[in-house]
Amino acid sequence: MTLTDTTMQVSAARSASGEDRAWSVNGSALTTLFQAAKALDADLDALVAEAGFSPADVLDTDRQFPVADLLHLYHCVANASQTPDIGLYVGRIDYINRLNLQLYACSGCQTFREYLNVMPSVLRIVGDIGEVTVRRESEYLCLDWQPLDKATNRQRYLSDSSLGVAAAIVNSVCVKPIPVRAAHFTYSEPQDLSLLRQQFGDNLRFDQPVSCLYFDRACLDYPLIGLDADWGQVLAQPIRHLFEENSESSDFIIALRKALLRLLPSGEMGLDKVAAALNISRRTLQRRLAEQGTQFLQILQELRAELAQQYLGDERLSITDISFLLGYMDQSSFSAAFRSWYGVSPRDFRKSN
């Protein structure tokens, strides 16, 4: 397993090359903040006046907003609710809101090691705020928060929310619990540590170079929790017909499509990656495709097109969620591909069906 995040590398490369586009986030990121403010009994009228926009303005969860709006709203909500730990509350809400996406993403995985390769990317799900990357350090597995804007490195909001989501996910997907062994933060030690300790344990360190979480490295081979029969049927229903035994497709094509289904959320569908997933060489993969009279990209696009229709039928998945599950870097790339397949946008397709 390669414990690197290609999405983060691409974003860093674009930034370094001077290709400065306006950083943005999905409306869902701001909606979550308003949910937290309401749960903490903040004065919503005063909050709206200070923030300059209301919950109704961000109801379209697929709309893009400047990152500056998100950071401003964090500040406003923290003040309105008198809660400096607001990032931790947002992380808990985000975890629940993304639970259905997590189930789809891990449905084809057996171990935590496999799941790490398809764990939803912050950049692709939330927007241009940063990424949680994975590395090994001695006997530990480390999840690092890497903000895109280095100016935010020493503030709490983004690191607390992103690491809070990561900790909740890690400790919920496996049969064995995976507790946080240590948590490092770039910001200075707050006066009140109670919520941080509830979330991350007692081994907390502050004023560190990187905000990160440490877990026992042995967790890589922990088995994921198996879904019960009802949930398994719910998740399998949209894609079961793609792999039915009475399909006209050969066993090889069915195996290839199943491998692609597992790899799609990782965004890594190159020939070498897929061949490795099938335990064959790149050359053998190409030869078998030629024998079937087809090409790799044709199989990939056909699978994406079929899955897109099925996922759009699940109202619990946003367009952004579906973009991630199909392996696209962003919503606009998925929308362009979908329009080329069906002649309409994903949003219009969902409305008409």
- pLDDT of the residue at 236: 46
CATH number belonging to domain 229-352: 1.10.10.60
End-to-end CA distance of the chain: 40
- pLDDT of the residue at 5: 39
Query: Phi, psi at residue 197, to the nearest 5°?
Result: -70, -40
Average pLDDT over residues 113-138: 88
Query: Phi, psi at residue 340, to the nearest 5°?
Result: -70, -25
In terms of average pLDDT, the best of 18-32, 49-63, 232-246, 279-293 is 279-293
pLDDT tens per residue, range 38-81: 999 999 899 999 999 888 888 776 678 999 999 999 999 999 99
Q: Smallest Cα–Cα separation from 306: which of 333, 342, 273? A: 342
Q: Which of 19-33, 147-161, 193-207, 329-343 has the lowest mean pLDDT?
A: 19-33
For the chain, the structural domain boundaries read 1-225, 229-352
> For residues 109 and 245, which has the higher predicted lDDT (pLDDT)?
109
For residue 6, pLDDT over 50 is answered with no
Residue 234's pLDDT band (cuts 50, 70, 90): very low
The CATH class for the domain spanning 1-225 reads alpha beta
Tell me the three state secondary structure of residue 205.
strand
From residue 66, alpha-carbon distances to 14, 129, 157, 329 in Å are 18, 10, 16, 18
Beta bridge partners of 184: 205, 212
